Structure 1
Amino acid sequence: MKPSMRLFSKFSEANSSWAQLITLKEALIVTLSIGSAFVVANKWATSVQLSAQAEVMASVVKAEMAGVKADIAGMKTDMKADMAVIKTDMAAMKATVLQVLEVLQTASPPKC
C-alpha cells in the first residue's frame, strides 16, 4: 500500500470513529472531566476574588487605624491642655488657701 493510501485509510478510520455512538462510560468520563474543569476554574476565580477582597479590607483597616491613631493623638493633646488648666487652678487655690491661713494666723483669737 502506498504511503498516501495508508494515510487516507487512517484518516478515514479516525473520521468514522467520531461518527460512532459513544457509550455511557465515555459520556460519564467526558461529563465528569468537564464538570471537574468547571469546579477547578470556579475555585480559582473564588480564590482570586477573596484575595482581592482581603487586600481591600486590609487597606480599609489600615485607614481606620490611622484615623484612630490621629484621634488618640488629639485626645492626648486635649488632656495635656486640660491638665495645664487644672494645674493653674490648683496653684490659684493654693495661693488663696495660703492667704486665708496667713490671715487666720495673724488675726487675734476671738474673745469669749
Structure 2
Amino acid sequence: MEDVCKTVNIIPFDYAISVIGGKWKMHILFWLWKKPVMRYSEIKKALGAVTHKILSDKLKELENDGLINRVEYPQIPPKVEYSLSEKGKALMPILHEICKWGHENIPNDYKK
C-alpha cells in the first residue's frame, strides 16, 4: 500500500476538495446552477440556516477561486448579483452526477 501512496498524485484531488469542500460551497453552487443570477438575500433565503458571516466568507472564497462572478452595481441601495463563472459552470456536470446519485440512493425516510 505504501508504494501506491507514493505513485498516486493526490494534488489535483486535494485542490478540487479545497475549492468546493465544506458545508456551504456546494449548496451555493447548486442554487446558482438552478437560478443563474442571484442576489445575496436570495442566496441567504435559499440556504436558510447559514449565518451572514459564513455566507459572506464562502461567497468571497468562491469568487477568489474563480467559481462565481460578483457584479456590484453603483446605486443606492447597493445591488450585488452572483452567477457561475465559466470555471464554475464546468463543475455542473459533476454536480449533476452527484444529484443523480442522490436521487438513486436517498433513503425513504431521509429528511433535511
Q: TM-score, normalised by structure 2?
A: 0.19
Q: TM-score, normalised by structure 1?
A: 0.19
Which has the larger share of strand?
A: 2
Q: Larger relative contact order (C-alpha < 8 A, sep ≥ 6)?
A: 2
Structure number with bigger Rg: 1
